[in-house]
Amino acid sequence: MDSSMVGTDLRSASVAPSEPDTAVRTTLRIATAGSVDDGKSTLIGRLLHDTKTVFEDQLKAVEKASRRYGDGETNLALLTDGLRAEREQGITIDVAHRYFTTPLRSFIVADTPGHAQYTRNMVTGASTSDIAIVLVDARHGVVDQTRRHSLIATMLGVEAIVVAVNKMDLVGWDQAEYERISKEVHAFVDGLPHPVPVFSIPMSALLGDNVVATSTNTPWYDGPPLLTFLEQFDASVESLPGARVHVQRVIRPQGGDHADFRGYAGVVAAGTLTIGEPITVLPSGRTTKVSGLHRWGQPVADAGAGHAVVVELADDVDVARGDVLVAGDATHPPEVAEDIVIDVCWMIDQPLLVGTRHWFKHGTRTGHATVTAIEHRYDLVSLEHEPTDELVLNDIGRVHLRLSEPIVADLYRHHAEGGRLILIDAASNTTAGAAMIAAISAWSPEI
Count the helix, strand and coil residues of the chain and give each as a percent rounded to the nearest 5.
20, 35, 45
Angle between helices 175-190 and 144-155 (to 10 degrees): 50
- Residue 59's identity, in one-letter code, is L
Q: Residue 293 CA to chain centroid, in angstroms?
A: 30
- Among candidate residues 266, 174, 183, 169, the one with its CA nearest the CA of residue 220: 174
Q: Answer for the pair 418, 409: CB distance below 8 angstroms, yes or no.
A: yes
Q: Is 89 helix (H, G, I), strand (E, B) or coil?
A: helix
| 337 pLDDT above the threshold of 90 | yes
Can you tell me the mean pLDDT for 310-323?
93
- Confidence at residue 194, expressed as pLDDT on a 0 to 100 scale: 82
Decide if 11-232 and 244-327 have a common fold: no
Domain boundaries, the chain: 11-232, 244-327, 335-439
- Residue 304's identity, in one-letter code, is G
DSSP 8-class letter at 209: B
| 210 pLDDT above the threshold of 80 | yes
For 44, phi then psi, to 5°, come to -65, -45
CA–CA dist 91, 42 (Å, integer)? 11
**Lowest-confidence region among 34-38, 217-221, 265-269:** 34-38
Question: pLDDT grade, residue 49 (50/70/90)?
Answer: confident
Superfamily of domain 335-439 in CATH is: Translation factors (2.40.30.10)
- Confidence at residue 305, expressed as pLDDT on a 0 to 100 scale: 84
| 359 pLDDT above the threshold of 80 | yes
CA–CA dist 326, 328 (Å, integer)? 7
Q: How many Cβ atoms from other residues are within 10 Å of residue 435's Cβ?
A: 24
- Confidence at residue 351, expressed as pLDDT on a 0 to 100 scale: 95
Can you tell me the mean pLDDT for 201-219?
92
- Residue 123's identity, in one-letter code, is V
- Among candidate residues 205, 248, 259, the one with its CA nearest the CA of residue 227: 205
Q: How many Cβ atoms from other residues are within 10 Å of residue 45's Cβ?
A: 25
| 285 pLDDT above the threshold of 50 | yes
DSSP 8-class letter at 59: H
CA–CA dist 273, 256 (Å, integer)? 29
Q: Is 175 helix (H, G, I), strand (E, B) or coil?
A: helix
Average pLDDT of the chain is 81
- Confidence at residue 423, expressed as pLDDT on a 0 to 100 scale: 96
Is CATH 3.40.718.10 the classification given to domain 11-232? no
What are the DSSP E strand ranges found in 35-114? 96-101, 106-111
CA–CA dist 108, 48 (Å, integer)? 11
Q: How many Cβ atoms from other residues are within 10 Å of residue 366's Cβ?
A: 18
CA–CA dist 437, 442 (Å, integer)? 13
Question: pLDDT grade, residue 248 (50/70/90)?
Answer: very high
CA–CA dist 166, 327 (Å, integer)? 46
DSSP string across 30-51: EEEEESTTSSHHHHHHHHHHHT
Can you tell me the mean pLDDT for 144-168?
89
For 306, phi then psi, to 5°, come to 90, -10
What is the value of pTM for the model shown? 0.77
More confident residue, 43 or 116: 43
Provide the CATH number for the domain formed by 244-327 in this structure: 2.40.30.10
CA–CA dist 259, 362 (Å, integer)? 32
List pLDDT tens digits, range 74-112.
555 555 544 333 334 444 445 677 888 888 889 988 877
- Confidence at residue 297, expressed as pLDDT on a 0 to 100 scale: 86
- Confidence at residue 101, expressed as pLDDT on a 0 to 100 scale: 87
CA–CA dist 201, 194 (Å, integer)? 22
Q: How far is CA 109 from CA 94, 122, 189, in A?
A: 13, 12, 22
Q: Answer for the pair 321, 248: CB distance below 8 angstroms, yes or no.
A: yes
| 375 pLDDT above the threshold of 90 | yes
For 356, phi then psi, to 5°, come to -70, 155
